[in-house]
Amino acid sequence: MSTTLATASASCRLSNEPGRALLTVRGQHVVTDSPPTLGGPNEAPNPVEMLLCALAGCAAFVCECAARELDIALTSVSVTAAGDFDPRGVCGEAVDPRFQSFKLRLALEGPDAAQRELLLQAFKTRCPVYTTLSRAAPVEIVLA
């Protein structure tokens, strides 16, 4: 029996303002800006920040879902994601622009230490953003 894969998609089009674009996902729109080094207004999140938002958001939702499934009292989830990359590559210099590492701070309030570890394992095995990014660069996770 074959598994049907889910497909996620998004589109992007440049706006009439240099360095600004409109992202569209399922009929919802989000503005994204390029940073000043690329001529953008830097008023809205840039694509690098959106990637980090995807990691943080996926972590929060996977932990929330796993806590519900495991009957763990989870009163609060707070996630901070950061990534290190060389911005010179984005600006056209001959350096690798990819993320070299990621850092994730996952604060889970309510569960005891053993339950926090269960939620961390659920995140590490179930989050499609994390499992993809962790194959590209090291991810340091701090469980708070």
pLDDT tier at 24, thresholds 50, 70, 90: very high
Percent of the chain with pLDDT over 70: 100
Is the same domain home to 71 and 94?
yes
Domain that holds residue 65: 47-143
If 0-12 CB within 10 Å is exposed, 13-18 middle and 19+ buried, where does residue 23 land?
middle
For the chain, how many structural domains are there in total?
Answer: 2
3 found inside a domain: no
Do 34 and 56 have their domain in common?
no
102 and 139 Cβ atoms separated by less than 8 Å: yes
Q: Model confidence at 1, in pLDDT bands (50, 70, 90)?
A: confident
Do 51 and 88 fall into the same domain?
A: yes
Do 16 and 69 reside in the same domain of the chain?
no
2 pLDDT above the threshold of 90: no
pLDDT at 104 over 90: yes
Say how far apart CA 25 and CA 8 lie, in whole Å.
9
In a domain, 4, yes or no: no
Task: Please give the model's pTM, rounded to 2 decimal places.
Answer: 0.92
Digit-coded pLDDT (tens) for 123-143: 999 999 999 999 999 999 999
Tens of pLDDT, residues 85-96: 999 998 899 999
- 59-98 burial code (b ≥16 CB/10 A, e <16): bbebbeebbeeeebebeebebebebebeeeebeeeeeeee
